[in-house]
Structure 1
Amino acid sequence: MAVDTPNPLVDIDAWEAFCDELKAAGQQIIRPEAPTDELNRAEGWRYLTRLTRIALDMFMECSDRDFPSFYRPSHETAKIGADNPDNYYLRAEINGQHDYRISGTRGTVAYLGFIAIAGGYEEADGNMRSVSAIDTHSGLEVNADGSIDVILSQTPQPGNWLKITDDTVAVLVRETYLDRSTETFADLTISRLDMGDSKPAALAGPKLKADLAKTAAFVKGTATLFADWAQGFKEHPNTLPAADQEYCQKLGGDPNIYYYHGYFNLADDEALLIEADDIPQCDNWNFQLNNYWMESLEYRYVQIHVNKHTAKYRSDGGVSIVVSAKDPGCENWLDTTGHREGTMAFRWIGADRIVHPRCKVVKLAELAQLLAQ
C-alpha cells in the first residue's frame, strides 16, 4: 500500500533563496566608489564571510528566545561598524513579552553596559534601536561579592532593572577595557524567568525558512549600511566630524558615548595628526583605525588604536596621535597596516563635556618639528 508523502515544508527553494541573497550582498564590495586594490577587495570578500558567521549565530544557532544564550556578535575575527578594540561584546536574543535575568560576576573592566535593542540591520529601515540602558556610569549596582544581577522586564523591578518593550529583540552588552592585558571581563549568563520544566522545541520548517532569510538579509543589510557610511566619509577625507548622535542611537549606539567618524587617505610620505588639547573627565576615550568596510584593523598584533590608559600625554595635558604607514618614531603612532585609505573613529565614553579633536595632514619629514612645538 502506497503511503502519501507530504511536500516538505523546507525544500531547496529556501536554500537557493538564501544563497541568492548572499550573492547579491557581493555588489556592495564592487560599488564604484569603493577601493579596487587587491588588499581592500580581498578584505571585502572576507568581510562578507565574517558577516555570515555573525548572522548564523544570531539567527540560526542562538535564536531561541525562550532559551537565550550570550554569543559574541563582534570580536577579533568578525567585525561590524567600527567595532571598538577596547570592547568585549555580548548579545542574547530575547522576546520582549517575557522577563529575563542576567547574572554573573562584574569583573574589573572600566565600563560595563547593557542595552535593550529593538529592530536590526536585517530589517528594511536598518535600524537597531536602543530601548533602554543601564551601566556602571549611571549607577549599575554591584553586590559586595562582586556579583551582579539585572532583571529585564516591562514592569519596574527593584535593583538593576533594564526596561524592555514588546518589540525588544535582544540585549547587547559592552565591556570596555582600559588594558586588556590586566583586566578581567564580566562573566555573565542569561535565562528566561518562569520557564518551569519546559525544554527547547524541535526545529520546525517555517522557523528554519525564516531564520535562513533573516541570516541572508542581515549580511546584505549590514554590508549595504556601512558601505553607505564609508562612501559618505570618503567625501571629506582626513577629518573627524562629530557623528549624528541621535542616528547612532538608532543603530544600537551607547547613549553614554559621543561618536566621531572619518576617513583617512594618505600618501606614503604623509601622516595624519589628530590632536585633543583638553581631555575631559571620562570613563574612557579612544581612537581607532578601520579598513574601508569599517572593520577595526588587526589590533591583536599591531598598534592601530589608542585609549585613555595607553596614550602618552603631552606636558600640557593634551594628546597628539599620529597615523601613517611608516613609523615616525614618535609616541601614539598608529600603523595603517598597508592601507593607504580607510575609515576611523573617535569616542568619548561617559565624558562630562565634549572636546572636538582636530586633524591635520603633515609631511613625515616635518612631523618631529610640529610635535616639538
Structure 2
Amino acid sequence: MAVETPNTPVDIDAWEAFCDELKSAGQQIIRPETPADDVSRAEGWRYLTRLTRIALDMFMECSDRDFPSFYRPSHETAKIGADNPDNYYLRAEINGQHDYKISGTRGTVAYLGFIAIAGGYEEKDGNMRSISAIDTHTGLEVNEDGTIDVILSQTPKPGNWLKTTADTLAVLVRETYLDRKTETFADLKITRLDASSNKPAALSGQKLKTDLAKTAAFVKGTATLFADWAEGFKAFPNTLPPADQAYCQKLGGDPNIYYYHGYFNLAEDEVLLIELDELPSCDNWNFQLNNYWMESLEYRYVQIHVNKHTAVYRDDGGVSIVVAAKDPQCPNWLDTTGHTEGTMAFRWIGADRIVHPHCRVLKSSELSHLIAK
C-alpha cells in the first residue's frame, strides 16, 4: 500500500467513502416506524439533500477558522431539529484557541443571542454542547449608534464577552422575530483578532478528505438523532410534554428557552386544541408544526406557526391554538399541509415563569362550541 505524504493527491477512495456514507444515511428514512405515505417519504429524501447542503457549507465552504464567515445553518429550504420559523440563524466556525470579534448592526429583532458551542451532530455522541451565551435578555450592550461588538475569547474582556474554551468550534446566532414583515435582522460579520496571515491557505488533499468525511458523518448523525427523537415523541401522540432541558442544552439549545416537543396524529375529522390559560411575561413564545423529520412545515406560504405577536388572544387573556387539516374558521388555526401525522414544538423565550400548555383532541364538529369565531 502506498504511503500518503502531505503532498499525495487524494485518491477516489475518499470520494467513494463520502458517497457510501451518504447512501447509508438513507436507512433513517425507511425505518419501520417512519410514515410511508408519499408526502412524508418524499420529504424524507429531500431532507437528506438539505442536510447535505448544510453540511457542505459547514465543513467545506465555511470551515476556515482563520478567516471565518457567517452562513445560515438552517433556513427556509434547509431545516434541522424543529427549526424555529421566527428565527434567522447564523453560524460561524471558529477555533477556541484564538480570539474573535463579532460586529455589526443590532437590527430590530425582538431577541438576539450568541452561543459558543463545542461538538457536533457528526460526532459519535451527537452532542453540540453550549459553552456560554450572551443575549439581549441578559444584557447585551448596544452602542449609541445601534451597532454591537462581541469579543470571543477564553479570558474575560470588557463589554460584550462570549467565553470560549479550547474545544469551542463555532458560534451560533439566533435572531428572533415577532413580525418578519416589519423587523430588521442584525447584520453581522466575524473576524479573527490574532490572525497570522492575510489570505487563506490553499486547499490541501488531506483537508478535503477530512471535510468530506465530516460532511457525510453530519448528514447521517443528524438524520439519526432526530429520527430517534421523532420515534420517542410518537409514543405519546397529541401531547406537549416538557423536553429534557439539560439535554436540549447539550444539543445547542438556548439557555433562555424552555422547550416542549410532541407528536400530532389526527384523523380526517379531528383537530388538536392547544390551550394556554395564562401567559407569563416573556421575550416571545411560539408554537409550530413540523413534519416527521422535525423540519418546520412550509411557513413561507402557509400559517403553520403562531407566536406572541401574531396570536389572537381570548377575552380572559389566554390563547387557544387549533391544529387541523381544514380551516375551522377560528383564530390561530395552523394548517397541517396534508400531513396526518408529524412533530410539533412549543417554546417560552425569556419567560419569568413556566406555564405548561395542555392539549386535547376533538372532533371538528365539537370545535365551534368551544372557540369563538
Identify whether the pair has TM-score above 0.5, normalized to the shorter chain: yes
> What is aligned with 2:326?
326
Structure 2 distance, partners of 1:7, 1:116, is: 34
> What is aligned with 1:109?
109
The answer to whether 1:43 aligns with 2:39 is no
In structure 2, the gaps of 5 or more residues are: none
Q: Percent identity?
A: 85
**Conserved 8 A contact 2:7-2:205:** no
Residue 218 of structure 1 aligns to a residue whose secondary structure is helix
Q: Deviations over 1:316-353 (max 9, x none)?
A: 00000000001000000000000000000000000000
> What is aligned with 2:174?
174
Query: Aligned ranges for residues 158-169 of structure 1 at < 5 Å?
Result: 158-169=158-169
> What is aligned with 1:268?
268
Residue 369 of structure 2 aligns to a residue whose secondary structure is helix
Structure 2 distance, partners of 1:292, 1:372, is: 31
> 1:8 Cα deviation (Å)?
3.8
Amino acid at match of 1:224: T
Query: Aligned ranges for residues 32-111 of structure 1 at < 5 Å?
Result: 32-111=32-111
Structure 2 distance, partners of 1:95, 1:372, is: 54
Residue 371 of structure 1 aligns to a residue whose secondary structure is coil
> What is aligned with 1:183?
183
> 1:198 Cα deviation (Å)?
2.9
> What is aligned with 2:23?
23
Amino acid at match of 1:167: D
> What is aligned with 2:236?
236
Q: Deviations over 1:67-126 (max 9, x none)?
A: 000000000000000000000000000000000000000000000000000000000000
Q: Deviations over 1:149-188 (max 9, x none)?
A: 0000000000000000000000000000000000000000
Amino acid at match of 2:151: I
Structure 1 distance, partners of 2:6, 2:28, is: 40
Output the TM-score relative to the length of structure 2.
Answer: 0.98
Amino acid at match of 1:279: L
> What is aligned with 1:127?
127
Output the TM-score relative to the length of structure 1.
Answer: 0.98
Amino acid at match of 2:240: L
Runs of 4+ in 1 over 6 A off after TM superposition: none
> What is aligned with 1:340?
340
Query: Aligned ranges for residues 200-239 of structure 1 at < 5 Å?
Result: 200-239=200-239
Give the length in aligned residue pairs. 369
- What CA RMSD, in Å, does the superposition of the two structures yield over aligned residues? 1.3
> 1:199 Cα deviation (Å)?
1.4
The 3 A distance-change label for structure 1 pair 24 and 327 is same
Residue 370 of structure 2 aligns to a residue whose secondary structure is helix
**Conserved 8 A contact 2:6-2:206:** no
